[in-house]
Structure 1
Amino acid sequence: MRFLLAPDKFRSSLSAAEACAAMEAGIRLALPDAQITALPMADGGEGTAELLTLATQGSWHTTPVHNPLFKLTEAGFGLSPDGQTAFIDSAAAAGLALLATPERNTTIATTHGLGQLIQQAITSGARTIVLGLGGTATTDGGTGLAAALGWQFLDAAGQSFIPTGGTLTKIAQLVPPAAPLPVRFRVACDVQNPLYGPTGAAVMFAPQKGATPAQVGQLDVGLKHLDHVVQQQLGLSHVAMPGAGAAGGLGYGLITFLGATLEPGVDVVLDAVAFDQHVANIDLILTGEGKLDQQTAQGKLIAGICRRAERAGVPVVALCGTLTLTPQEIRELGLLAAFSVLNRPQQLKEAVLTAAGDLMGATFNVVRLLTNHASLRL
């Protein structure tokens, strides 16, 4: 029997790769001769670049770049085996996690280092950039990234500068690079917010990045000014495009300055790992995550796996820590079945420590049931 293992991480307990290992161990106990393909997955958020690099058997590279406060740091990106595709997380160079809590100030934070990271990937030969949005410390509308990739932002005196969230209102003129970048962008984005306004980047996300109410207002005005200049000088208006407000307006900047397209994170990830090719000739897909709930059903990773598996005619079983979906919701999601791996009352701390063993045991039971009796075999 041929299995494809495609779990997401079990947050705070197992990485996606560790979940694959536990599942494989359970399968081997039930069916020693099984053919198993392990494909650790991610949903487009932080950590996606490393997993995509691993799944494609690519190589990992690091380079010095600016962190959100213009200080030097090391950031990494993955390259596919043919060197044509780079995998990058926006949080690698612009991430909130790169800053200590007292350092967090989104009015002065920049995406410049992310632009440097992209430039290094292009210099290394990449012609497609797969970029995961999320987890940034910035609200600069992607201007820092654009500045690192050849765009100039001039103030009223004609002086070039690198904008931050707090200085967006100083932009008086835009100067495009001499030539467009020789690269295509695929941006994994699950945020639908516009650039500014009541549901925009500043109001919805800047408080999480340390912004005070006054700074939120300042940032929102700055993003609105940025779009005004773009409309005047470039004749473009992407302000209301779903995802424009993602990652502090980075979505807007990628669309406006780099011609990127924003796509559902799960589709970008599944395409990048050639999921449709892996699922060919598979008998059963085992997937999972820490919590299987309404968010899962509303288009997250497992929902995407189920859609593609249905097209290929392959059943999917999900294993998780917490299961809150009803039987009807499980069926509507496209799963053959879903099970919690928890097998006894326990505190969260214990559940985290025993997650690998519990996942292995649940996998054993599923595979044993589906393969050991002829009337039940898939």
Structure 2
Amino acid sequence: MKGHVVVAPDKFRGSLTSPEVAAHVAIGLRSAGSGQVPVVRLPVADGGDGTVDAVVASGFTRVEMEVTGPVGELVTAAYAIRDEPGGRVAVIELAEASGLRRLPEGGAPAPLTATSRGTGELMAHAVRHGATRIVLGLGGSACTDGGAGMAQALGVRLLDAAGNDLPPGGIALRDLHTIDVSRRLRGFEVVVASDVDNPLLGPYGAAAVYGPQKGATPGDVAVLEAGLARLAAVAEPGGVAYAMRPGAGAAGGTGFGALAFLEAEIRPGIGYLLDLVDFERHVAGARLVITGEGSIDGQTLRGKAPVGVAAVAARHDVPAVAVCGRRSVSDEELRAAGIEAAYALTDIEPDVRRCMAEAGPLLERLAGRIAAAFTEAGPSR
């Protein structure tokens, strides 16, 4: 039996991290009698929740520190760092410091006042410890502040008409009068990794599309839209080039803040992060790639992690299959996206609550099915 198996899943949100998914799949393959087939575990992420976990599993070093959470309390957040030939690279996941999962337990969302400041504090810490390139993963945010808090943590001053620094949150942006970047921390480049292509403003923008997910009422959305529009007008007095760029609306407009204040480059999240962990090298010569995420649905097919993984596998003529909690797309849609088959936990346990609670053991059973279909009986390409 030639070739190895690459296990490269994203997280199962609410159940397992991507390294945990990969570990359970590997156990299932071994238990099914595929112990003689080498298994390479390479958890992946697309810039959202779990990005730091995924790159740490690939060899980055985890750094933890206390930063400002989305509603002002201190939270312990992590980023990942690694020395490379071109300099020190830090991977920072906005959700670690400024995500919905960082809201106090039992606390209500704060759509008007939540801040991205903690993300900027992580970035500043990494730069002061030698990072020359920041990979900023955007997703899962609790804030709609256009990256204002992040920028403030990096030394940008956002001032009202009286010369006072603006308080946290998107609502305060309506009072923005002047931006002072003279004290901004410098000496590093920023690459934004995001699978979101929304602009900053309008019906497909940060406030309209994602504000309600963060607890914003229709009235709150209008207030946030006005604040973001004011931020764009002051940051870009000559036009709206950054505001309309795809990805500017990511993570409550933090994509815009990275463009306008940090001169960032926005890259598709999964493609860039796969390059960062040298994924293509691991796929070369493989017999099979197993990817996946919690729910395989229409969003998956728009370019999320499993489709990105399958695209790399296809370049090497390696079949790709997926594991998931549940799926809502057809076999034909999966094959069109480069995924030969999807194995769902709900195929063997219809109770979704049990699937979430017992995701690990159920994944091991699914891996046994994959072993029977591909690593043992299935043909190599």
TM-score where L is the length of structure 2: 0.89
SS of alignment partner, residue 84 of structure 1: strand
Q: What residue in structure 2 maps to residue 311 of structure 1?
A: 315
Amino acid at match of 1:144: G
Q: Determine the structure 2 residue equivalent to 1:17.
A: 19
**1:204 offset after TM fit, Å?**
2.3
The separation in 1 between residues aligned to 2:217 and 2:260, in whole angstroms, is 28
Give 1:90 shift: 0.8
Q: Secondary structure of the equivalent of 1:238?
A: coil
Aligned-partner Cα distance in 2 for 1:341–1:235: 49
Letter in 2 for 1:149: L
- Aligned mate of 2:41, from 38, 41, 46: 38
* 2:45 pairs with 1:53: no
The TM-score with structure 1 as length reference comes to 0.90
Distance 2:181 2:69 in 1: 24
Q: 1:99 aligns with which of 103, 118, 136?
A: 103
**Does 2:332 correspond to 1:322?**
no
1:176 alignment partner, one of 168, 181, 191: 181
C-alpha deviation, 1:371, in angstroms: 4.6
In structure 2, do the counterparts of structure 1 residues 289 and 226 end up closer, same or farther at CA, with 3 Å as the change threshold? Answer: closer
Query: Could you give the per-residue CA deviations for residues 318-359 of structure 1, whole angstroms, max 9, x where no partner exists?
Result: 233324332322321112333335554642233334433333
Q: What amino acid maps onto 1:201 in structure 2?
A: A
Please say if residues 142 and 253 of structure 1, whose CA atoms lie closer than 8 Å, have aligned partners that are also in contact. Answer: yes
> What is the rounded CA distance, in whole Å, between the counterparts of 1:72 and 1:358 in structure 2?
36
- Letter aligned with residue 129 of structure 2: S
Are 1:256 and 2:260 matched, yes or no?
A: yes
Question: 1:196: which partner in 2?
Answer: 201
After TM superposition, the structure 1 stretch with the greater mean CA deviation from structure 2, 67-76 or 337-346, is: 337-346
Identity %: 37
Secondary structure (helix, strand or coil) at the match of 1:80 reads: strand
The CA distance in 2 between the partners of 1:31 and 1:325, in whole Å, is 29
1:73-84 paired onto structure 2 within 5 Å:
73-80=75-82, 82=84, 84=88
Deviates more, 1:128-137 or 1:180-189: 180-189
Amino acid at match of 1:48: T
Aligned-pair CA distance for 1:103: 4.6
AA aligned to 2:164 is Q
1:268-291, CA deviations, whole angstroms, 9 ceiling, x for partnerless residues?
A: 221222111211222211222233
Distance change >3 Å, CA 371–CA 344, structure 1 → 2: closer
How many angstroms apart in 1 are the aligned matches of 2:327 and 2:187? 45
Q: Distance in 2 between matches of 1:111 and 1:131?
A: 12
Determine if contact 1:227/1:237 at 8 Å carries over to the other structure. no
| CA displacement at 1:69 relative to structure 2 | 2.9
Root-mean-square deviation (CA, aligned residues, Å) is 2.4
Per-residue CA deviation, residues 113-145 of structure 1 (Å, 9 max, x unaligned), is 211110001111111211111222222211221
Q: Separation in 1 of the partners of 2:118 and 2:172?
A: 17
Structure 1 stretches lacking a partner, 5+ long = none
Equivalent position of 1:121 in the other structure: 126
1:156-188 deviation per Cα after TM superposition (whole angstroms, max 9, x unaligned): 233344553122122222222357622221212
1:39 to partner: Cα distance: 0.7
Indicate if the aligned counterparts of 1:143 and 1:162 stay in contact, CA closer than 8 A.
no
Q: Greater CA deviation, 94-103 or 197-206?
A: 94-103
Q: Is residue 236–residue 256 contact of structure 1 (8 Å, CA) maintained in 2? A: no
1-structure distance, mates of 2:201, 2:226: 8
Structure ID, larger Rg = 1
Residues in 1 aligned to 2:82 and 2:330: alpha-carbon distance in whole angstroms = 40
Give the equivalent residue in structure 2 for 1:230. Answer: 235
Aligned to 1:275: 279
Is the Cα–Cα contact under 8 Å of residues 192 and 246 in structure 1 kept in the other structure? yes
- How far did 1:53 drift? 1.6
2:140: which partner in 1? 135
Q: In the alignment, what sits opposite 1:156?
A: 161
Q: Which is further off, 140-149 or 311-320?
A: 311-320
Preserved CA contact (<8 Å) 1:194 1:240: yes
Q: Which residue in 2 is equivalent to 1:289? A: 293
Q: CA deviation at 1:93?
A: 1.9
1:357 to 336, 339, 361: 361
Q: Which residue of 1 aligns with 2:224?
A: 219
Alignment partners' CA distance in 1, 2:239 and 2:76: 37
Contact 1:2–1:35 (8 Å) recurs in 2: yes
Q: Which amino acid aligns with 1:198?
A: P
d(CA) in 1 for partners of 2:327 and 2:89?
36
Compared CA separation, residues 272 and 102, structure 1 to 2 (3 A): same
2:357 and 2:70 map into 1 onto residues whose CA distance is 34
Bigger shift: residues 216-225 or 79-88: 79-88
